[in-house]
Structure 1
Amino acid sequence: MAAVAAVLLYFLLRPSHRNRGGLPLPPTPGWAWPVLGHLPLLGLIPHHSLAALAKKHGPHFLLLNLGTTSPTLVVSSPAAVRSLLKSLDPLVSSRPPNAGATHMAYNYQDLVFAPYGPRWRLLRKLCNVHLFSQKALDHFSSVRESEAQDLVSRLSSSRSAAVTIGPMLTDCTTNALGRTMLGRRVFVPGEGGEFREMVLELMVLAGVFNIGDFVPELEWLDLQGVVKKMKRLHKRFDDFFERMIEENSNGGEMCFLGVLMALKEDADGEGSKISRREIKALLMDLFTAGTDTSSSTVEWAIAELIRHPSLLDALQLELDSVAGRDRLVLESDLPNLTLLQAIIKEIFRLHPSTPLLLPRIVAEDCEAMGYHIPKDTRVLINAWAISRDPDVWKDPLEFKPVERFMPGAPTAHMDVKGNDFEFIPFGAGRRICAGMSMGIRNVQFLTAALVHAFDWELLEGETPEKLNMEEVYGLTLQRKVPLVVKPKPRLAPHVYANAAK
C-alpha cells in the first residue's frame, strides 16, 4: 500500500508544463483525476465529448492531460487547424509513441507511424507513384470494377431478401485492395477465411483504448492483454506476408507487392532501397487504412440516400443519363456525375471515417493563435467537430449536398484534399492520408454502382425518417445499428450476370 501511495503522490505533485515564453497555455477543463487525468471525460464517443468540451472551454484549442503522458492539444476549429498546419506543419509531422506502432507496424517502419524524415518521404513517394497516382489508379480500375460487379451480382442473387450490407462492402473493398497489392483476392466465399479473421481482429485491436499508451508507467503490466494479442496477431500477418512475398513470382496479376520487390532489388542511389521489413509494414498499413474506411463510408452514404428519397431518385436519374440501364456504371463515368460528387462530399463532411485524426506530436516549443504550445505536446484534431462548425456551415447537422456542393453553391469550391481547413476528412499538411485519392475514388464508385444497380427498401415497419443514424466509436466511424436493406434490381437482367473471378 505504501508503494501505491507513493506512486499516486508522485503523479499528484509532479511539476506541470510551464510556459517560459510569457504566453498563456491553451484553456483546460481544470481539475483532473489522479493518474488518469482528463481521460474519464472522453466518454464512449470521444469526438462527441471533445466537441462538447471545446464549446464549453475553448472553441479553438483545448489542453488536456490524458493519463500521465505529455499534455494533449485538442484542435476543434478551422482557424486552429490553419494556425498549426499552415506555418507549423514541419513541427507537428511526427507521431507520438503507441503500442500499435511498436508491435503491429514493425516498430515504426511503416508509412503511417514512421517519424517525419527521409525514410518517411521515400515510403510516401513509392506509394504516391506506384499506387495512388492517377496513372496507377487508372491501371487498377478494372480490378475495382470487377469486384463491384461481383458485389452487385451477389446482392441481386438475394432476390430482394434482407441483407446486412456492411460486411459485403468490406469484402468488396478488401478483395479489390488484395488484388491491387498482392495479386489475389483475400476474402473468398467457401474458403477458410484466415485472412478475413486477421483483418477483423486487427480492426478490433486498433480501436481498443490501451491504458499503457496513456499511462506508460503501467505499460509493462499489459493490464488488458492488448500487447499480447498484438504480438500474436503480428506474427500471423508476418507469416502471411512472407508467403505472399515468396509466391510473388507466380505470374498472376501485376500488383503493388511485385513493384516493391522489384524496387527492393533495383533501387538506385544511396538510401533509396526499401527493406523487406518496410515492405511488410507498408502492406500492413494499406490493409488497415484502405478497407473498413471506404466500406463504412459507403454504408453511411446508402443510409443517407435512403433517408432522402428525392436525392436518391435524382442521383439515379443522373446515373441513367450517363451510363444508361444496359450496363453498370464505370469509374470512367465519375467525372460526369456532378450530383454524385456533391453527395460524396457531404458524406465526408457529416461522416468522416476517422473523426479524430491520427495524433501528432510537437517537435519543439512553438506558438499558435497566441498560445504557447510546449514541446512533446500531443496534437489531436477533431475533424468531426470541424466539419460541423456552425460558423462555417449553415444547418451543419443537416444532409444538404445540393445546397453546399453543387455548382453555384457558396461552399461548392471546398474540397476534401486538405486545402480547405473547414473540411479535412483525410487530414491536411504533410501527414495528410497518403491513400486519399484511392479512398475518394472507392467511395464515389461503390456508391454509384449500388445506387445505379438497385432500388433500396428498408425492412417492414421501418421508415426512412426513423432510420437509426447513431454512431459508435472505433478504428473507423461505424453505425451503431448496421444497415439492413432489401436491394431490388433496376437495370437490365444481363447486368447482374457476371461475377469477379
Structure 2
Amino acid sequence: MSLQLGQVPAIIISSSKAAETFLKTHDINFASRPKIKASELLSYGSKGVAFSEYSPYWRSVRKLCTLKLLSASKVEMLGPIRKEELNVLVKSLKKAALVGEVVNVSEVVENLIENIVYKTILGRSKHEKFDLKKLVQEATILVGAFNLADYVPWLGAFDIQGLTRSLKKTSKSLDEVLEVIIKEHEQISNVDKTHHEDFVDILLSVMNQAIDPENEQNDVIDRNNIKAILLDMIVAGVDTSANAIEWALSELLRHPRVMKNLQDEIQNEVGTERMVEEKDLKKLNYLDMVIDETLRLYPVAPLLVPRECRESITIDDYFIKEKTRVIVNAWAIGRDSNVWSENVEEFYPERFINKKINYQGQDFESIPFGSGRRRCPGIQLGLVSIKLVTAQLVHCFNWELPHNTNPSNLNMEEKFGLSIPRAQHLHAIPSYRLSSDVKDE
C-alpha cells in the first residue's frame, strides 16, 4: 500500500511476499534510514546503530557491535551474568511463594532484564545516582511518537505537538547520565588495568581511532558516537526481551494445556532436582515453539524502524522514487491468515511442529527482529535471554492468576508504540514446584 504522508511518499508492507521483495531481493536499495527529529536529537545526529543512514560508518559500527558484544561466542561468555541475575530473581520469588504473595510479574521481569543489560553493556547494575530506566522509557515513547515535523518539515519551527521540546529535555538528561557512566569507566581504567572489560570499555578503547581498518574512509568514533551507540544497545536490550517474556507468560497463563506441555518437556529433560541451564535450551523443542508463537503474535517491534529508498527503482511495474519511506508492519505479517490459517489469532505453538523460523532473514512469515542488512544485530542475545527466563520461571514455579480470575478472562490488551508491551501489568501468584533441597546457585 502506498500513501503520501505530508510531503513524504511512503509504502506500507503488510505481507510476507512484499517483505521478501523489499528486505531481501532489493535489500541494498532500501537499507538506509530516513532522518527524523527523534533520532537527530536523541542519537547525536543519528550516529548509533539503529538510525544511522546506510554508509561505511554504519557498517563499521555494526561490525564492531556484532563482534564485541553480539557474536555467538560473546553471548555464551555473558552466560554467568544471566545466571546470577536469574538466580537472584528465583530466590526472591520463592519467598513470595511461601506467603502466597501476588507478584507484579511485568515489573520483576523488566527489572531482571534491565540488570542483565546494564551489567552486559555497562559493567554494573542500576546506578544509585539516576533512574536510567525512566529516561530510556521516555526516549522510547518519543521515538515511537508520530511527529508531524518529520512529514511536513516546515511545521518543525512551530513545535505544535511539543515533541521537540520534550526530545531536547530527555536528550539533555540522557547525555548527563551517559557522560557520568563514561567518566566512571575512564577513571576505573586508569586505576585498575585488570578489571573486567565491558562494552563501554571496548568503545573507549577505540575512541578517536579507526573503527575498522578495512574501512577505506577511516571512520572514527568520538564521545558522542559512543553515547549514541550505548543508548541504542540499552534501549533495544531492555524493551524487547522483557516484553517478549511477559507476553509468553501471559499466553501460558491463558492456556493451561500449553503451560503443562512446556513444564512436562522441561521436567523430562532437566528433572526437579535442579534449575534450567543454558545448555538445556537446545534440547527444548516445545519451548522453541512457544517462543516462536509468542514472537509471531507480539513481534519485538510492531512496525519495524522505517527504511528509506536510496535510489529510484521500479518493482513489479511500480515506480518508487528516491527518499520514499518503507514501513514494514511486522505485527500484520505475523497475523496474515493467508499464511497462518484461520486460527491466526489463537496462541497455538503446535503450528511450528514442522516449521522452524529462521530469524536471520530466510523466513518472512514472521519477522519480529526485522530482516536483511538492517535486522536487529542482537537476535542471538535476545533469544537466549527470552528462552532462558521463560523456561526458568515455568520450571521453578506454578503460576495462578489472583482473585480466582478465569485464565480466559486475562486482559491481553496491547499498548502500541515503538515496542508492544502489555497495556496492563501482569500479576500472578507463584508456588515453588522443584524439590525442596534444590539450592539457589
**TM-score, normalised with respect to structure 2:** 0.92
Within the alignment, does 1:438 sit opposite 2:381 as a pair?
yes
Distance in 1 (CA, whole Å) between partners of 2:200 and 2:294 is: 32
- Give the secondary structure class of the aligned counterpart of 2:39: helix
Q: Which runs of 5+ in 1 are unaligned?
A: 1-61
Query: Does structure 2 retain, via aligned residues, the 8 Å contact 1:153–1:496?
Result: no
1:367 is aligned to 314
Within the alignment, does 1:299 sit opposite 2:246 as a pair?
yes
Query: What per-residue deviation string (whole Å, max 9, x for no partner) do you get for residues 22-73 of structure 1?
Result: xxxxxxxxxxxxxxxxxxxxxxxxxxxxxxxxxxxxxxxx11222x231110
2:59 is aligned to 121
Residue from 175, 180, 197 that aligns with 2:120: 180
C-alpha displacement at 1:194, in angstroms? 2.3
Within the alignment, does 1:326 sit opposite 2:273 as a pair?
yes
Within the alignment, does 1:456 sit opposite 2:393 as a pair?
no
Residue from 44, 64, 67 that aligns with 1:106: 44
1:396 is aligned to 344
2:235 is aligned to 288
Distance in 1 (CA, whole Å) between partners of 2:12 and 2:270 is: 45
Query: Does structure 2 retain, via aligned residues, the 8 Å contact 1:80–1:369?
Result: no
2:20 is aligned to 82
Identity fraction in percent: 37
Alignment of 1:380-391 (within 5 A): 380-391=327-338
- Greater shift, 295-304 or 469-478, is seen at 469-478
Residue from 405, 418, 424 that aligns with 1:475: 418
2:134 is aligned to 197
1:41 is aligned to none
Within the alignment, does 1:65 sit opposite 2:12 as a pair?
no
- Greater shift, 192-201 or 234-243, is seen at 192-201
Within the alignment, does 1:279 sit opposite 2:218 as a pair?
no
Distance in 2 (CA, whole Å) between partners of 1:322 and 1:354 is: 32
Within the alignment, does 1:254 sit opposite 2:197 as a pair?
yes
Residue from 218, 222, 244 that aligns with 2:159: 222
Query: What per-residue deviation string (whole Å, max 9, x for no partner) do you get for residues 174-195 of structure 1?
Result: 11111111110026xxx46522
Residue from 339, 344, 348 that aligns with 2:295: 348
Query: Does structure 1 retain, via aligned residues, the 8 Å contact 2:303–2:418?
Result: no
Query: What per-residue deviation string (whole Å, max 9, x for no partner) do you get for residues 196-231 of structure 1?
Result: 322232233233222222322211111222222222
Distance in 2 (CA, whole Å) between partners of 1:116 and 1:491 is: 50
Structure number with greater Rg is: 1
C-alpha displacement at 1:422, in angstroms? 1.2
C-alpha displacement at 1:495, in angstroms? 4.7
Aligned residues: 428
1:144 is aligned to 82
Query: Does structure 1 retain, via aligned residues, the 8 Å contact 2:49–2:232?
Result: yes
2:257 is aligned to 310
Query: Does structure 1 retain, via aligned residues, the 8 Å contact 2:39–2:143?
Result: no
- Give the secondary structure class of the aligned counterpart of 1:299: helix
1:52 is aligned to none
- Give the secondary structure class of the aligned counterpart of 1:131: helix
- Give the secondary structure class of the aligned counterpart of 1:219: helix
Query: Does structure 2 retain, via aligned residues, the 8 Å contact 1:290–1:439?
Result: yes
2:33 is aligned to 95
Structure number with higher relative contact order (C-alpha < 8 Å, ≥ 6 residues apart)? 2
Q: Which runs of 5+ in 2 are unaligned?
A: none
1:14 is aligned to none
Query: Does structure 1 retain, via aligned residues, the 8 Å contact 2:359–2:371?
Result: no
1:155 is aligned to 93
Distance in 1 (CA, whole Å) between partners of 2:162 and 2:153 is: 15
Q: Indicate the RMSD between aligned Cα atoms, in angstroms.
A: 1.9
Q: 1:145 to 1:473 in 2, by over 3 A?
A: same
Distance in 2 (CA, whole Å) between partners of 1:397 and 1:203 is: 27
- Greater shift, 467-476 or 133-142, is seen at 467-476
1:245 is aligned to 182
